């Protein structure tokens, strides 16, 4: 049952096979306890004496010895570590205060893949790009390894003593020692913070996340009396109106929302009718890209539209003072949205507001939702579903700034936060006045740079912890590996050690975070019987379902009406939201995320100033709004100035944005991120004054600098229109009206109009030789473009699974990104407010593959199971296959992207089941052939001749939160993929070339009454 123990001697992932296989025998072979290493507290036996004797030597090097900490794999995993075979452990990954269940695959004791835990109710086994990419940060060679005091190395003990001394000084002087923390979802950490303050009263905690967005909590606090954000369940919504809410994109809850939203976006696959998404926004967000109807508003109009909605729907008057200011199109948009909301069945419509909008906007939306019946236990907005730690934060931060500025703070300990990078100018100048500054961090970052003491901390995959989801689900965070850098503790353990120095009685004998967490959990779980067994089960399952505390809601409209509005007026405004890839900047040194193209702009490795074509023209950057003219504005660097400060960013013209709005991204412009993230883009936090970094701000100036900055995109042409008509057959779209009109016409274009028989074979064969008959398995994939939102989880899932290299900005500029699956994004329709189609594109494993016959050395061939196989060893690199691939999904190693000289420990991130490729070799999607083979071995072990449906899950499919990817055996008529392949929305990209792709797409569906297909069908 229990198998791997994490002890300080496990400091390296593994050193030898013997050490690797050093597992405890199964329970029962020896008497209980006999196999456990001796504890200092136990009575000294003969064995113990020997251990102590040798430990005394080790003591000279190690200050303390942690007790054995047992990890528990999942029930489906191998239970005993076996060289060459994977083990799966549950854990929990938190995106700020949002907890997502994780399932981490380890090989030889090192984590190689982060997946979702399907037992977890929030993400249901799915994983976001950032969640999966956090694996790479674990092995980041730029992570700090040594404790630093001033400019010299010091022992951890020494640093802890220094910190404790400083806190004592503070305490003696009647001053504060403040720990700056990030938002979190951990009940144990919250409890520990309380206990630390109780044990050492000088120590207080202030939450200073990079991005503070209080508006939502202010609204719920005023209107409902709940200090925190409510989390909606969009699978219950038939009509969703989003005012600037990017719940599918930059929102920390996007992984959860994407899953729930997509549940009702797959006509023909779910019983619930398709939901409709109406978006009114000023940027072009990923949510807007998925909208059925999209309206463009200036940020000054958000509250007006909401007020019109409220007025039209009636029932409350939170925005009654704003409604009269709305005019013209704003009124009509508001009324349209209101009528959409009213068209939904009772309780099935919801209004969402962007977390960076004003408190009043949120309050109006809440009131409208209440009127619509969307609020209540079991409804879309359950008042019990409050995001943990999401209460109002700005007042505490403001008070801290005052305290620091006026010398009331003696010590600041930045615990995994980076205020020197993300803080306002005011915060930074106040911070500079604090005499003792300490950083507990993964990196020697901007904040560590101004701290006299810097203590490295462990990664989430290296430390114990726990997290609670908004729906009450509890999870334990298990470490997957001992800290790679020997003896590095988590933030919690460092603070426990500091507190222990201040108050020797703190937490008693075993003062460490593992014990602390375990004790809390066993106390919680022990109420229902055997605590140890319950703890083991909690680790196995990764979840302990708990009901959240119910909230009783009393509407207080009066106090909601007093909430502040954005105060914006028409005119130039700027907004900076966390980037969809690198987030708020903590992940800036993660190459996978830096190279992940934004699904809307397709930009990598940079932040830009997005603006509408008209705005670019107005700024004199482009001669006209014509497409060929307006692109001239791209890459011109402009200086954006607000009351907070100014930044230089390159312009990127984005269609579908509101005029006068400039949108940029946070998370870039790091000055001390590491070798990957330093000096990538510019720091948009500089635009913020005190608080509310993501709010829209009035621009006091936009000045072209005359300079150019190259921006690396992964797509250079953005529409299906090739200048001579639309290539609509590549990415088919239909509407619910088309679906309702009966059977769809065949969506495949036919150049050879001769028909197919009922098996899908051409009546008149296209070849003089008979088609190959696939007798065993025949692998195929279906991608539902209707549920795909473009979130790009699949891209990172594939990168992690298949050891795909990061090539860097220069190579992306040259068009050499290596992703095996890419998200093609096309705009359609009116270019002032275009619709978007996203289409995941990967090797189509054509049965009549054009790449195969042109390879002179037969390096790419067809398998008897329908896979288009690439034999790296045989490839000489003529690139003919790449040229002849009509989908251009083949990727060539132009340079030695994997030179085998990866800085340690980065080489440990590779999946040992997949070879890395040298330069001069072609590569591409394999349909995760290593997983197919693994499933075949298992089937053989189980005495089966065939793999069962669902046993092979490709990496992209596994991660896809929208469930848009179905993979399986198309020779099995009952498999999910076979059923999906004959769906009426099916089409194959470039079917007319007779390449016979194994990937079938299902047309994107827009929920609209307008028919999109011509009556006569395709051509």
Partner 1 sequence: MTDHGQIRESLVLGNPSIRDVTARIASIVESKITIKYLLTLGFTATLAGWGLFALYYTITTGIGVWGLNNPLGWGWDITNFVFWIGIGHAGTLISAILFLFRQKWRTAINRSAEAMTIFAVVCALTMVLSHTGRPWLFYWLLPFPNQMQMWINFRSPLAWDVFAVNTYFTVSALFWFVGLIPDLATMRNYVKSEIAKKVFGVLSLGWTGSTRHWHHYEIAYMLLAGISTPLVLSVHSVVSFDFTVGILPGWHTTIFPPYFVAGAIFSGFAMVMTLLVIVREILDLKQFITLKHLDNMNKIMLATGMMVGYAYILEFFIAWYSGSDWEKWIFLNRMFGDYAWAYWAMFTCNVVSPQVFWFASNRRNIPLMFIISIFINIGMWFERFTIIATTLHHDFLPASWGYYSPTWVEVSIFIGTFGIFLTLFLLFAKFVPVIAIAEVKSIMPGAQPAHHHHDHEHDHVAVGSGTVTEKVH
* Residue 754 touching partner 1 (CB under 8 A): no
Per the DSSP assignment, residues forming a β-bridge with 100 are 93
Residues 6+ apart with CB under 8 A from 382: 230, 233, 376
Which position has the token pair 């003062």?
511
- Do residues 384 and 378 touch, judged by C-beta distance below 8 A? no
CA 947 to chain CA centroid, nearest Å? 32
DSSP-based three-state secondary structure for 57: helix
* Shorter beta-carbon distance to partner 1: residue 103 or 875: 875
Q: Where are the alpha helices (DSSP H) in 382-451?
A: 394-405, 419-422, 425-431, 446-449
CB of 677 to partner 1, least distance (A): 23
Which position has the token pair 């604090």?
434
* Shorter beta-carbon distance to partner 1: residue 508 or 723: 723
CB atoms within 10 A of CB 477: 24
- Do residues 342 and 349 touch, judged by C-beta distance below 8 A? yes
Stretch that binds partner 1, among 40-48, 122-130, 293-301, 918-926 (CB under 8 A): 918-926
Number of H helices, E strands in the chain: 30, 41
Contacts 24+ apart (CB under 8 A), 514-523: 514/66, 514/67, 514/69, 514/464, 515/67, 516/188, 516/192, 516/492, 517/188, 517/464, 517/465, 517/466, 517/476, 518/464, 520/187, 520/188, 520/191, 520/466, 521/188, 521/466, 521/476
Distance CA 797, CA 810 (A): 23
* Shorter beta-carbon distance to partner 1: residue 696 or 887: 887
Report 950-1009 residues binding partner 1 (CB under 8 A). Answer: 989-990, 993, 995
CB of 923 to partner 1, least distance (A): 11
DSSP-based three-state secondary structure for 940: helix
CB of 878 to partner 1, least distance (A): 5
CB of 842 to partner 1, least distance (A): 12
Both tokens of residue 415?
Answer: 């615990």
* Residue 720 touching partner 1 (CB under 8 A): yes
* Residue 921 touching partner 1 (CB under 8 A): yes
* Residue 722 touching partner 1 (CB under 8 A): yes
Report 876-895 residues binding partner 1 (CB under 8 A). Answer: 876-880, 882-884, 886-888, 891-895
Distance CA 967, CA 956 (A): 10
* Residue 631 touching partner 1 (CB under 8 A): no
* Residue 901 touching partner 1 (CB under 8 A): no
CB of 809 to partner 1, least distance (A): 14
Q: What binding mask, one character per residue, do residues 732-751 give for partner 1 by CB under 8 A, x or -?
A: -------------------x
* Shorter beta-carbon distance to partner 1: residue 589 or 714: 714
Stretch that binds partner 1, among 226-234, 632-640, 681-689, 915-923 (CB under 8 A): 915-923
Distance CA 961, CA 952 (A): 17
Among 218, 579, 875, 1003, binds partner 1 (CB under 8 A): 875
* Residue 900 touching partner 1 (CB under 8 A): no
- Between strands 646-653 and 712-713, the pairing is unpaired
Distance CA 931, CA 951 (A): 9
Q: What binding mask, one character per residue, do residues 821-860 give for partner 1 by CB under 8 A, x or -?
A: -x-xxx------------x-x--------x--xxxxxx--
* Shorter beta-carbon distance to partner 1: residue 290 or 485: 290
CB of 890 to partner 1, least distance (A): 8
CB of 309 to partner 1, least distance (A): 37
CB of 997 to partner 1, least distance (A): 12
Q: If residue 675 lies in a helix (H) or strand (E), which one and from where to where?
A: none
Beta-sheet strands, E only, within 470-556: 474-477
Q: If residue 662 lies in a helix (H) or strand (E), which one and from where to where?
A: strand 661-666
Distance CA 22, CA 80 (A): 10
Among 84, 152, 328, 725, binds partner 1 (CB under 8 A): 725
Stretch that binds partner 1, among 65-73, 114-122, 807-815, 963-971 (CB under 8 A): 807-815
Distance CA 677, CA 999 (A): 36
CB of 783 to partner 1, least distance (A): 14
CB of 909 to partner 1, least distance (A): 23
* Shorter beta-carbon distance to partner 1: residue 363 or 989: 989
CB of 1004 to partner 1, least distance (A): 15
CB of 653 to partner 1, least distance (A): 18
Both tokens of residue 506?
Answer: 């703190």
- Please give the size of the binding site for partner 1, defined by CB under 8 A: 59
* Shorter beta-carbon distance to partner 1: residue 754 or 853: 853
CB of 898 to partner 1, least distance (A): 12
Among 814, 940, 944, 946, binds partner 1 (CB under 8 A): 814
DSSP-based three-state secondary structure for 72: coil
Distance CA 491, CA 414 (A): 10
CB atoms within 10 A of CB 773: 8
* Shorter beta-carbon distance to partner 1: residue 211 or 964: 964
CB of 896 to partner 1, least distance (A): 6
- Between strands 239-243 and 349-353, the pairing is parallel
- Do residues 981 and 782 touch, judged by C-beta distance below 8 A? yes
Q: Dihedral of CA 35/39/45/47: which sign?
A: positive
CB of 886 to partner 1, least distance (A): 5
* Shorter beta-carbon distance to partner 1: residue 715 or 863: 715
Report 678-717 residues binding partner 1 (CB under 8 A). Answer: 715-717
- Do residues 112 and 912 touch, judged by C-beta distance below 8 A? yes
* Residue 811 touching partner 1 (CB under 8 A): yes
Distance CA 268, CA 619 (A): 48
Both tokens of residue 429?
Answer: 């100048």
CB of 876 to partner 1, least distance (A): 5
- Do residues 956 and 797 touch, judged by C-beta distance below 8 A? yes
Distance CA 733, CA 251 (A): 27
Report angle CA 545, 548, 550 to the nearest 5 degrees.
150
**Nearest 5°: phi and psi at 1011?**
-75, 140
Nearest CA-CA partner of 142 in 448, 396, 400: 448
Stretch that binds partner 1, among 89-97, 214-222, 403-411, 814-822 (CB under 8 A): 814-822
CB of 816 to partner 1, least distance (A): 6
Among 473, 719, 736, 844, binds partner 1 (CB under 8 A): 719
Q: What is the dihedral of CA 925, 926, 930, 931, to 10 degrees?
A: 80
Stretch that binds partner 1, among 377-385, 566-574, 608-616, 810-818 (CB under 8 A): 810-818
* Residue 730 touching partner 1 (CB under 8 A): yes
Q: What binding mask, one character per residue, do residues 761-800 give for partner 1 by CB under 8 A, x or -?
A: ----------------------------------------
* Shorter beta-carbon distance to partner 1: residue 708 or 919: 919
* Shorter beta-carbon distance to partner 1: residue 463 or 729: 729
* Shorter beta-carbon distance to partner 1: residue 543 or 812: 812
Among 520, 537, 690, 816, binds partner 1 (CB under 8 A): 816
* Shorter beta-carbon distance to partner 1: residue 762 or 872: 872
CB of 712 to partner 1, least distance (A): 12
Q: Where do contacts with partner 1 occur on this chain (CB under 8 A)?
A: 715-722, 724-725, 727, 730, 751, 811, 814-817, 822, 824-826, 839, 841, 850, 853-858, 874-880, 882-884, 886-888, 891-896, 918-922, 989-990, 993, 995
């Amino acid at each position: 049952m229990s198998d791997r123990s994490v002890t300080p001697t496990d400091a390296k992932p593994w050193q030898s096979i013997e050490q690797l296989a050093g597992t405890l025998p199964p329970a029962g072979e020896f008497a209980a306890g006999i196999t456990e290493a001796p504890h200092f507290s136990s009575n000294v036996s003969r064995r113990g004496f020997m251990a102590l004797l040798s430990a005394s030597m080790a003591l000279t090097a190690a200050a303390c010895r942690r007790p054995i900490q047992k990890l528990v794999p999942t029930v489906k995993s191998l239970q005993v570590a076996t060289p060459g075979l994977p083990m799966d452990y549950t854990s929990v990954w938190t995106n700020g205060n949002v907890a997502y269940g994780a399932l981490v695959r380890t090989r030889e004791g090192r984590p190689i893949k982060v997946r979702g835990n399907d037992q977890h109710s929030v993400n249901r086994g799915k994983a976001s790009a950032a969640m999966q990419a956090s694996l790479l940060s674990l092995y980041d060679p730029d992570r700090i390894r040594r404790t630093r005091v001033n400019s010299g190395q010091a022992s951890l003990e020494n640093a802890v003593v220094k910190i404790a001394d400083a806190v004592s000084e503070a305490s003696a002087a009647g001053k504060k020692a403040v720990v700056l923390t990030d938002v979190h979802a951990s009940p144990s950490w919250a409890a520990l913070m309380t206990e630390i303050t109780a044990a050492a009263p000088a120590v207080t905690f202030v939450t200073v996340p990079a991005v503070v967005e209080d508006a939502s909590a202010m609204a719920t606090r005023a209107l409902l009396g709940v200090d925190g954000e409510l989390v909606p369940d969009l699978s219950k919504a038939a009509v969703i109106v989003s005012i600037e809410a990017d719940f599918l994109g930059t929102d920390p809850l996007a992984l959860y929302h994407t899953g729930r939203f997509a549940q009702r976006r797959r006509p023909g696959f779910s019983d619930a009718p398709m939901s409709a998404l109406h978006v009114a926004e000023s940027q072009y967000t990923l949510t807007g890209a998925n909208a059925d109807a999209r309206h463009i508003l200036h940020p000054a109009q958000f509250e007006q539209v909401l007020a019109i909605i409220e007025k039209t729907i009636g029932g409350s008057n939170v925005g009654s003072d704003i409604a009269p200011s709305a005019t013209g199109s704003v009124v009509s948009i508001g009324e349209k949205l209101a009528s959409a909301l009213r068209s939904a069945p009772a309780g099935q419509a919801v209004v969402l507001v962007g977390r960076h909008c004003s408190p009043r906007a949120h309050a109006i939306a809440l009131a409208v939702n209440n009127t619509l019946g969307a609020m209540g236990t079991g409804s879309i907005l359950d008042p019990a579903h409050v995001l943990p730690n999401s209460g109002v934060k700005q007042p505490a931060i403001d008070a801290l700034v005052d305290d620091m500025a006026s010398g009331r703070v003696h010590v600041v300990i930045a615990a995994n936060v980076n205020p020197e990078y993300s803080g306002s100018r005011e915060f930074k100048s106040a911070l500079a006045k604090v005499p003792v500054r300490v950083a507990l961090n993964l990196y020697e970052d901007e904040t560590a740079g101004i701290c006299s003491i810097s203590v490295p901390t462990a990664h989430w995959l290296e430390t114990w912890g726990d997290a609670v989801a908004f729906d009450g689900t509890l999870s334990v965070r298990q470490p997957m590996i001992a800290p790679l850098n020997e003896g590095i503790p988590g933030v919690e353990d460092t603070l426990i050690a500091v507190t222990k120095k201040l108050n020797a009685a703190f937490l008693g004998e075993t003062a460490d975070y593992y014990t602390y967490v375990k004790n809390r959990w066993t106390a919680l779980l022990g109420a229902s019987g055997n605590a140890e067994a319950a703890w083991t089960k909690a680790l196995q399952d990764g979840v302990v379902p708990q009901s959240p505390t119910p909230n009783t809601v009393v509407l207080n409209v009066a106090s909601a009406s007093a909430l502040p509005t954005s105060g914006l007026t028409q005119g130039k405004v700027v907004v900076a939201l966390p980037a969809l890839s690198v987030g708020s900047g903590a992940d800036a040194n993660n190459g996978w995320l830096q190279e992940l193209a934004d699904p809307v702009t397709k930009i990598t490795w940079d932040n830009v100033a997005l603006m509408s074509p008209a705005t670019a023209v107005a700024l004199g950057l482009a001669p006209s709004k014509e497409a060929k003219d307006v692109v001239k504005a791209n890459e011109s660097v402009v200086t954006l100035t607000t009351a907070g400060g100014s930044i230089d960013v390159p312009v990127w013209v984005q269609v579908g944005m509101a005029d006068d709005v400039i949108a940029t991204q946070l998370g870039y412009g790091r000055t001390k991120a590491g070798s990957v993230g330093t000096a990538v883009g510019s720091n948009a936090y500089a635009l913020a004054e005190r608080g509310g970094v993501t709010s829209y701000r009035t621009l006091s100036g936009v000045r072209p600098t005359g300079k150019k900055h190259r921006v690396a995109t992964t797509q250079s042409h953005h529409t299906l229109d090739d200048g001579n008509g639309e290539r609509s057959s590549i990415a088919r779209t239909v509407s619910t009206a088309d679906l309702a009109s009966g059977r769809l016409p065949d969506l495949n274009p036919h150049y050879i109009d001769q028909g197919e028989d009922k098996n899908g074979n051409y009546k008149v064969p296209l070849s003089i030789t008979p088609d190959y008959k696939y007798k065993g398995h025949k692998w195929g994939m279906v991608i539902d473009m209707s549920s795909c939102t473009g979130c790009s989880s699949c891209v990172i899932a594939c990168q992690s699974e298949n050891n795909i290299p990061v090539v860097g900005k220069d190579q992306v500029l040259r068009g050499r990104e290596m992703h095996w699956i890419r998200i093609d994004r096309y705009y359609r329709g009116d270019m002032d407010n275009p619709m978007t189609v996203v289409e995941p594109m990967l090797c189509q494993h054509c049965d009549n593959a054009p790449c195969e016959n042109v390879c002179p050395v037969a390096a790419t061939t067809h398998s008897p199971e329908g896979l288009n196989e690439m034999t790296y060893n045989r490839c000489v690199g003529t690139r003919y296959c790449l040229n002849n691939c009509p989908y251009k999904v083949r990727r060539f190693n132009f340079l030695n992207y994997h030179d085998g000289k990866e800085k340690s420990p980065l080489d440990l991130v590779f999946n040992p089941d997949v070879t890395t490729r040298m330069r001069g070799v072609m590569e591409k999607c394999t349909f995760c052939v290593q997983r197919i083979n693994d499933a075949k071995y298992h089937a053989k072990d189980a005495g089966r001749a065939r793999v069962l449906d669902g046993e092979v899950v490709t990496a992209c499919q596994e991660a896809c939160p929208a469930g848009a990817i179905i993979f399986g055996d198309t020779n099995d008529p009952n498999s999910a993929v076979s059923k999906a392949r004959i769906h009426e929305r099916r089409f194959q990209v470039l079917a007319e070339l007779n390449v016979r792709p194994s990937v079938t797409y299902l047309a994107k569906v827009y929920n609209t009454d307008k028919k999109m297909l011509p009556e006569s069908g395709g051509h």
